[in-house]
Amino acid sequence: MILKLRRLEMRPQAVLCMALLSWLSACTSVPLREGTSLGSYAGMSPSGGTLTKAKLRVDPAPVLAAQTVRIVPTSTQIGSGGFDPDDLALITNVIDRALCTDLSDRFKIVVTSQPADLTVHATVTNIVATNRTAAAGSVVASLGGTVAGLGVPIPRLPIGLGGLAIEAEAVDKEGSQKASMLWSRGANMITTRARVSAVGDAYSLSSAFAADFSRMLVKGKDPFKGMPAIPSTQKLWASLGGDPKYDACKAFGTAPGISGLVAARFGLPPTWTDKGAAVSQ
């Protein structure tokens, strides 16, 4: 009798878990396609995680031997996507900022005018626009659930989810490619918070790309294998709006910190709190 009661008690939790897994899998599918910015696309192997599609190649020995990195500002190859130039500038800058912060865990970051063991360059190859009306509806539903005191997350509407695709490489002083990655990911109904902006989801996903690519260089291996790394102190400090570890990273400005977290909670466009690059690049 007690066993039956316990099974009945656990049934709602089991149903909730199944629902959450189902919602998590409901995400935008962003094709993984080759662009034209990499020096080579040869030798890349399929990889990725539950939500991320990826192909990559890394030469462990020279990558692990490298001590310095310079970051060439991220570019775009998305054609006439109808995005506001300021929004695109914000996306490319937040990618560079996140790369600079994450790579600082092991490498010394130098300014673009200085030589380095590795030079990193990323290119945005696709942005799937976030539907602002659908995002606004999701924000209202989420805030309404909070006010009502519901104890479960309110999923986003399963329409109008955005996405992002990027390719990137790291080359040595002679210009020989030592690591490369094709990466794409779509927003999902649970873990990607809705923001009322055409690039709201792309902005949120930028840091996920930076984390994956940086981990490949820091560890010299496939970043999708093994346990996730615990964020370093310097990374946590930078995410809260603190100054970066290296002066070279100051060119990409500072993260919006607490104000950015509040803005994200209320679904505000990232341009409201993220001031972008600190200087002209």
The backbone torsions φ and ψ at residue 175, rounded to the nearest 5 degrees and listed phi first, read: 85, 10
Domain boundaries, the chain: 28-272
Q: Give the containing element (helix H, strand E) for 259.
A: helix 257-265
Q: Are 47 and 56 in contact (CB under 8 A)?
A: yes
Q: Are 32 and 182 in contact (CB under 8 A)?
A: yes
- d(CA 141, CA 43) in angstroms, rounded, equals 46
What stretches of the chain adopt beta strand conformation (E)? 45-48, 52-58, 68-76, 108-110, 118-128, 163-171, 177-186
pLDDT of residue 26: 58
CB < 8 Å & 24+ apart, contacts of 243-249:
244/100, 244/101, 244/104, 245/101, 245/104, 245/109, 246/100, 246/104, 246/108, 246/109, 246/110, 247/111, 248/70, 248/71, 248/100, 248/109, 248/110, 248/111, 248/112, 249/97, 249/100, 249/101, 249/104, 249/109
Q: Are 32 and 166 in contact (CB under 8 A)?
A: no
- d(CA 28, CA 187) in angstroms, rounded, equals 6
Selection from 69, 71, 175 nearest residue 117 by Cα: 69
End-to-end alpha-carbon separation of the chain, Å? Answer: 70
Please give the single-letter amino acid code of residue 169.
E
Per-residue tens of pLDDT for the chain, all 281 residues: 444 434 434 344 444 444 444 445 557 789 999 999 999 999 999 999 889 999 999 999 999 999 999 999 999 998 766 899 999 999 999 999 999 999 999 999 999 999 999 999 999 999 999 999 999 999 888 876 554 555 556 788 889 999 999 999 999 999 999 999 999 999 999 889 999 999 999 999 999 999 999 999 999 999 999 888 788 999 999 999 999 999 999 999 999 999 999 999 899 999 999 999 986 54
Count of helix runs (H) and strand runs (E) in the chain? 7, 7
pLDDT of residue 111: 96
pTM value?
0.88
- d(CA 170, CA 178) in angstroms, rounded, equals 6
- d(CA 261, CA 231) in angstroms, rounded, equals 17
